[in-house]
Amino acid sequence: MANIPKKIASLVREHDSFRHVPNAERLSTDELTANGLYKGYPCPHGHDIRLLDNHSCYLCAGKIRDNICGFDLNYMQEEYKRKYADLWSQIAVGDPSECWEAPGLTQKRICLPSYRSLYARDKSTNVTAHKAIYQCAWGDVGALFVTRVCGNKTCLNPLHLVSNWNRLFPPSVISPFDYAFQPEKLMQYQQVQDANQLKVLRERYYKCTIQNPLVNQNNSDYDSEYIQYYQSEWQETS
C-alpha cells in the first residue's frame, strides 16, 4: 500500500470540479437542467438528483468530495438492501488498512438498479463487484469508472477504491459501517415517513475526515487550489 496518494493522484487528476447548487432538491426540471442536473432513478442512498454529463448522483458526488466513506445497510433504499447484504456476506472484512479479499467475486457482475433504470426495459444493470461496493460505501457515480488503487484484483475494501470524484488522501475508516441487518433499525426505517428524518438517519454517523495537513479544507473554492498544489505530484505519476 506504499505511495497510495501518488496512485490516487494519477487516477483522479482529470476529475470534473464539483459545483455546489443551492437547494438543488427543490429546483424545477428547467432549473435543474440549467445547472447541469436532472431528476433520475434513486441511488442506493435515496437521492434522485443526478448530473447530466456522467449520471453521478449529485449528493453522492458531494459526499465523496467531502471525503466521507460510510453507510448503514438498514437505512439504504429498499431495492438495494438485500443485494448488498448478500454481497457483503462474501467479503472477508478486516482491518481498514488491509485488502479485503473476495476471490469469488473477482469476475462476477452484480445485478443492481442504476441511473438507466428510469428509462431502460430492464430495471437492473450488471456492474462489477468493486463498483457495486464503491457505490454502497462512497456513493453512486453513474457512468464513471471505479478503480482499485491497491492493485489487488480480489480486494473489495472501499478505502482501496476510487473514482474521479475522490480526494487525494482517503479517510482511515468507514463511518458508519453497518453491513448486516438489524431488526430494530429495519423497523425504525419502516416507521420513518418524513424524507428529512430519513436523511438524518442515513447521515448522522458520517465521519468528517481530516486530510493530510498540506491539503486545504473541503470547500467550494477547493478544486483550483487542489489542482495547483498537486500539479508537480501528478507530473511524477504520468
Q: What is the pLDDT of residue 133?
A: 98
Quote the CA–CA distance of 130 and 118 in Å, as a whole number: 23
Tell me whether strands 71-72 and 177-178 are parallel, antiparallel or unpaired: parallel
| Dist CA 187 CA 204 (whole Å) | 18
The verdict on residue 100 lying in a domain is yes
Which cell goes with 135?
Answer: 457505490
- Tell how far CA 128 is from the center of its chain: 14
Q: What pLDDT is recorded for position 80?
A: 95
- Whether residue 64 lies inside any domain: the answer is yes
Give the pLDDT confidence of 139-155 residue by residue, as tens digits.
999 999 999 999 999 99
Let me know if residue 226 belongs to a domain. Answer: no
Q: Is residue 211 part of a domain?
A: no
For residue 237, tell me if it sits in a domain.
no
The confidence score (pLDDT) of residue 18 equals 81
Q: Is residue 212 part of a domain?
A: no
Report DSSP state, residue 37: E
Residue whose C-alpha cell is 456513493: 139
122 found inside a domain: yes
Return the residue matching grid coordinates 436532472.
38
Per-residue model confidence (pLDDT) at position 172: 92
pLDDT tens series, the chain, 238 aa: 445 556 666 555 545 568 899 999 999 999 999 999 999 999 999 999 999 999 999 999 999 999 999 999 999 999 999 999 999 999 999 999 999 999 999 889 999 988 887 776 667 789 999 999 999 999 999 999 999 999 999 999 999 999 999 988 889 999 999 999 999 999 999 998 788 888 888 888 787 664 544 444 444 334 443 343 333 333 333 2
Rounded to two decimals, the pTM is: 0.82
216 found inside a domain: no
* Domains identified in the chain, total number: 1
Domain that holds residue 121: 4-205
CA distance 124 to 117: 6
The full DSSP string for 94-152 is: --TTS--B-GGGSS-EEEEE-GGGGTSSSSEEEEEHHHHHHHHHT---TT---EESS--
